[in-house]
Chains A and B, each alone.
Chain A
Amino acid sequence: ETGVTQSPTHLIKTRGQQVTLRCSSQSGHNTVSWYQQALGQGPQFIFQYYREEENGRGNFPPRFSGLQFPNYSSELNVNALELDDSALYLCASSLGALPPGNTIYFGEGSWLTVV
C-alpha cells in the first residue's frame, strides 16, 4: 500500500458533463501529479501540483484543471467531457518539488467511462 487513496473508484458520465476526481496523498507528501491511462496504453502525464500551485503540465487541453488543498489532497476536474476522456485516472504523490530519486507513489485510480 502506498497510502495514496482515490475516489470514486468507478463512475459513468455523459458526454458534455463535468467530473471531479479526488486524491488523498500519502502522509507528508506535498506534491501531487495526475495521469490519464487509456485502455491498453501507458499513463500520460496531465499535470502536477506543488504546495497548491500547478508547476508542470502535459499536453492536455484547459478543460482539464486541478486543485491542491492546504492538506495536500487534490482534485482533478474535467469539463465538457468527450468520449475519448474514458480512461483510468491515476494520482501520484511525492515529497518535494525537486524529488530525490524522482520517485512517485500511485493510487489505485478512478475509472471514468463517458457515454
Chain B
Amino acid sequence: AQTVTQSQPEMSVQEAETVTLSCTYDTSESDYYLFWYKQPPSRQMILVIRQEAYKQQNATENRFSVNFQKAAKSFSLKISDSQLGDAAMYFCASSRAGTYKYIFGTGTRLKVLA
C-alpha cells in the first residue's frame, strides 16, 4: 500500500525568503508519480508541481522546485522568493502510474510573513 507522510503541520517563512516543505512516501510500485498541491482558503486544490518517478531530474516550475530522492523516498518542495499569495495548505501526493487514485499526506500549513 502507498503512504505519504508530511511531518510538518505548519511552517512560516518571511516574504522573499526560501522555505522547504518535507514529504516522505512509501510505495512498492516501480512506476509512479509524485505531486505537490496547494489548497488556499478557496479550497480548490491547485497543482503546483509534478514529478515522474522514472525521471532523475528534479522538476521545477518557476519559483517552485522539488528535491526528489528516490532511494530515500523523499520528495521535498522548495519555494523561493516566497510571496504572500503562497500562504496556503500544501499537500504532497503520490499515485501509481495509470491510475487517478491519489494518496495524500495530511498537509503542511504555510504562513508567509510580511
In the bound complex, CA of A107 to CA of B39 (Å): 11
Cβ contact within 8 Å between B105 and A42:
yes
Q: Is the CB of B42 within 8 A of A31?
A: no
The answer to whether A43 touches B102, judged by C-beta atoms less than 8 angstroms apart, is yes
Contact pattern, B 92-113, Cβ under 8 Å of A = 1, otherwise 0: 0101011111111111000000
Interface residue? B44 (CB, 8 A): yes
**How many chain B residues touch A (Cβ–Cβ < 8 Å)?**
25
Residues of B within 8 A of A42 (CB): 4, 91, 93, 104-107
Contact between chains at B45 and A43 (CB < 8 Å): yes
Interface residues, chain B, CB within 8 Å of chain A?
A: 4, 33, 37, 42-47, 50, 52, 91, 93, 95, 97-107
Instruction: Classify chain A: how many residues form its interface, as a range.
Output: 20 to 34
Q: Which residues of B contact A90 (CB under 8 A)?
A: 43, 45
Q: List chain A positions with a Cβ less than 8 A from chain B.
A: 2, 31, 33, 35, 40-45, 48, 56, 58, 88, 90, 92, 94, 98-99, 101-109
Which residues of chain B come closer than 8 Å to A94, judged between CB atoms?
Answer: 100
B100 and A102 contacting across the interface, CB-CB below 8 Å? yes
Please name the residue on chain A nearest to B37 by beta carbon: A106
CB-CB under 8 A for A40 and B106, given A107-B44, A109-B43? yes
B103: nearest chain-A partner, CB-CB = A45
Q: CB within 8 A of B104: which of A43, A88, A99?
A: A43
From A33, A45, A102, A108, B44 is in contact (CB under 8 Å) with: A108
Please name all residues of chain A whose beta carbon is closer than 8 Å to the beta carbon of B42 when the two chains form the complex.
Answer: 108
Given the complex of chains A and B, what is the CA–CA distance between A39 and B76 in angstroms? 24
Q: Chain A residues near B37 (CB, 8 Å)?
A: 106
B50 neighbours in A (Cβ, 8 Å): 101-103
A33-B100 in contact (CB<8A) = yes
| Alpha-carbon distance between A41 and B37 when the two chains are bound, in angstroms | 14
- Across the interface, A56 reaches (CB within 8 A) one of B4, B44, B100, B105, namely B100
Please state if A88 and B43 are interface contacts (CB–CB under 8 Å): yes
CA distance A2 to B44 in the complex (A): 9
